[in-house]
Structure 1
Amino acid sequence: MATHDIHELKLLFSLFDVDHDGHISQDEIKRLVQVVSGHPWTEEQLAAFMQLTDTDTSGDINMEEFTVMMNQYVPTSTLGLRDLFNTFDLSGDGYVDKQEFEKVTKEKGNELNQDQIDIFNKIFQQDENSKVTYEQFIDGATEVYKSLKFN
């Protein structure tokens, strides 16, 4: 099985690690699943996921556990960054425009990570009428990741 690019995994991890403590908590996992899939997990689903992924039984997911889980269970063609972008791309045209962004943040704002919102806001501040491409989203996520200091 092909493995994911470690750079993309680090970017994805940093976007899901809402409090930037170097771990993805169960609450952050719940929020992530809700945002990407549109459906919340049951407590049973969350417990099964944690049992599978949290190999050190710490109660959260560290970068090493995240990498193993992604490489073992998530096909390289379905890396979560694309899914996250698609959450905002309501029309499916490959771009996120200001209206789509505002609609998603209005409907799912309390479920979103502030970093995810800031990536789009920064691009829209540069040009209110611009459409954000997946590549621009990745560039913005890279800037967020580079600014973080993990414990």
Structure 2
Amino acid sequence: MSWFLMNRKGEERKKKEEIKKQFMKAIGKDASDGKLSRDQWTNVLIAAGIHNSTEEVHKSFETRVLENGRLSFEEFMGEESRAERLFKLMDKDGDGFVTKTEFREVCKNLNREQIDLAFKKFDQTGNDKLNFREFCDMMNKRTNSTKKGSETATANPSNSSSHHAPAQ
């Protein structure tokens, strides 16, 4: 590899590291869900010294289907998100769905009843499979339930995180 190409890769790596650094600062202040809005991303890129920040942010937001109009670091950088990696891991046959059987193979600590409850709650199409959106809804619900802590579970046992299969 030429010196020129090696030097460019080093520059790109440094830019990415600076963006990540500014992203971490921003989520520490404003984003408990690990995602930032369009305006927050613009501020991250400006703080990282990236030119044409507003245009870059608009391009990133236009090319993605957004949940709540926010993007994680991976989503913004065009990398596979943690949710996408986990979904692919569970989707053994690569058909774009996670079945109860596939889910059970990965989540061995959950019993059949817990998996059935999770699918009943998050399988919006009723096909006994989770598509990526349903899977993300389930994972986000688990994350939100976990963050709310035990006060939710003790305040309303019928709504506790123990009913969300992934939280077990």
Determine if the TM-score, normalized by the shorter chain, exceeds 0.5.
no
TM-score, with length taken from structure 2? 0.38
Determine which structure has more spread, i.e. the larger CA radius of gyration: 2
Structure with the greater relative contact order (CA < 8 A, sep ≥ 6): 1 or 2? 1
TM-score, with length taken from structure 1? 0.42
